[in-house]
Amino acid sequence: MAITASQVKALREKTGAGMMDCKKALVESGGDEEKAVMYLREKGLSKAAKKAGRATSEGLVTPYVSEDGKIAVISELLCETDFVAKGDDFKAFADALSEKIAGLDVTSGAAEDLPQEVADVTDLIAKLGENMGVGRFAKVSTDGVLGLYIHTNNKLGVIVELTGGGDETLAKDIAMHVAAMNPSCISSDELPADVLEKEKALYLKQAMDEGKPENIAEKIVMGRLNKYYSEVCLLNQAYIKEDKKAVKDILGGATVASFVRLALGEGQKEEAGED
């Protein structure tokens, strides 16, 4: 039978168990809520539920690259303390998670976008005694070149995809740049029109308030817009290894087709509405 979102929500509120655990319990119990409650208790998920409200601000961002270099994954596994994050069991689960994601028909998302058996951390919680969870993930597949960078603390990862040229070294260097400079987009073409209009209006008002003639004000707007591009657009940013050049100047014939940057805990901040 089909299990509705309202059934999952009701069981989650009643038991405190995870969303995917509740859905599985309802499926196994034919939609009977009381049987689903017993299922969760029998599986020991009540113990995990008791830990579910505890903050998971630590963890790892873990990479995986296929043997042919055409698939790269970064995924986020969260826990309560850095001590647990450094443990072998936690690291092994994180490594296996990224490898499993590489074999799935997904691109990016979070735990709810993965099969229940892939994102299930119940046994790991029981073993290590902390609240845990799968956070966000990203998978990039390409016929081009992939560069993957993981910061030394394993809390920040970047994948860069190049097409039309370049090599793994260049792709990794650009991934390192993305990690450091955190661009919003690849080029100004990707900036929403309404965002650009707001920026232009702001710069024009600033110039007019400064008493500049209209023809001069328009030139000032363009100058400030170009500065804005150099702050938020990858291709316009000063390259971290050669700051006299922009990223676009070191590409040769290659094109940056995509990039993804995943920093530990940023997804939780976004959900909470934090900057």
For the stretch 73-100, pLDDT in tens is 999 999 999 999 999 999 999 999 999 9
Structure tokens at 84: 């647990």
Same domain flag for 43 and 144: no
Residue 219 included in any domain: no
Q: Is the pLDDT assigned to residue 275 strictly greater than 60?
A: no
- CA 147 and chain centroid, separation: 16
Q: Is the pLDDT assigned to residue 271 strictly greater than 60?
A: no
The enclosing H or E element of 79 equals strand 71-79
Q: Which of 154-158, 176-180, 247-251, 262-266 has the lowest mean pLDDT?
A: 262-266
Cα separation, 89 vs 96, whole angstroms: 11
Residue 22 included in any domain: yes
Q: Is the pLDDT assigned to residue 42 strictly greater than 80?
A: no
Q: How does residue 44 score in pLDDT terms, banded at 50, 70 and 90?
A: low
Residue 69 included in any domain: yes
Same domain flag for 29 and 125: no
Residue 173 included in any domain: yes
Same domain flag for 40 and 112: no
Task: Decide which of 15, 34, 51 is a domain's last residue.
Answer: 51
pLDDT, residue 51, reads 62
Confirm if 94 and 77 have CB atoms less than 8 A apart: yes
Cα separation, 89 vs 225, whole angstroms: 49
Same domain flag for 109 and 47: no
- Across 221-226, average pLDDT: 89
pLDDT, residue 20, reads 82
Residue with the bigger pLDDT between 51 and 2: it is: 2
Residue 91 included in any domain: yes
Cα separation, 116 vs 102, whole angstroms: 16
Could you tell me the CATH number of the domain that includes residue 265?
A: 3.30.479.20
Residue 245 included in any domain: no
Residue 179 included in any domain: yes
Strand partners, 259: 160
Total structural domains within the chain: 2
pLDDT, residue 137, reads 97
pLDDT, residue 50, reads 59
Print the domain residue range for 125: 58-186+253-271
Residue 175 included in any domain: yes
Structure tokens at 90: 């936690």
- Most confidently modeled range among 31-35, 38-42, 161-165, 262-266: 161-165
- CA 144 and chain centroid, separation: 22
Q: Round the average pLDDT of the chain to a whole number and report it.
A: 89
pLDDT, residue 256, reads 98
Same domain flag for 45 and 73: no
Angle at alpha carbon of residue 160, lines to 86 and 112, rounded to 5° = 60
Confirm if 160 and 170 have CB atoms less than 8 A apart: no
Same domain flag for 151 and 43: no
Q: Is the pLDDT assigned to residue 261 strictly greater than 80?
A: yes
Answer left, alpha or beta for residue 191, where phi above 0 means left and psi between -120 and 50 means alpha.
beta
Same domain flag for 155 and 264: yes
> Quick one: DSSP state of residue 3?
P
Rounded-to-5 percentages of helix, strand, coil across the chain? 50, 20, 30
Same domain flag for 20 and 129: no
- Cβ-based neighbours of 147, under 8 Å, separated by 6 or more: 159, 160, 161, 162, 168, 169, 170, 171, 172, 173, 174, 175
User: Which amino acid, 5?
Assistant: A
Q: Is the pLDDT assigned to residue 173 strictly greater than 90?
A: yes
Could you tell me the CATH number of the domain that includes residue 12?
A: 1.10.8.10
Using CB atoms within 10 Å of the CB of residue 201, give its burial: 0 to 12 exposed, 13 to 18 middle, 19+ buried. exposed
Same domain flag for 143 and 169: yes
Same domain flag for 146 and 14: no
Among candidate residues 199, 193, 245, the one with its CA nearest the CA of residue 220: 199
Cα separation, 248 vs 223, whole angstroms: 19
Same domain flag for 26 and 112: no
Q: Which of 104-108, 144-148, 203-207 has the lowest mean pLDDT?
A: 203-207
Q: How does residue 175 score in pLDDT terms, banded at 50, 70 and 90?
A: very high
For the stretch 45-80, pLDDT in tens is 555 555 655 778 899 999 999 999 999 999 999 999
- Across 150-171, average pLDDT: 96
Q: Is the pLDDT assigned to residue 273 strictly greater than 80?
A: no
Same domain flag for 113 and 9: no
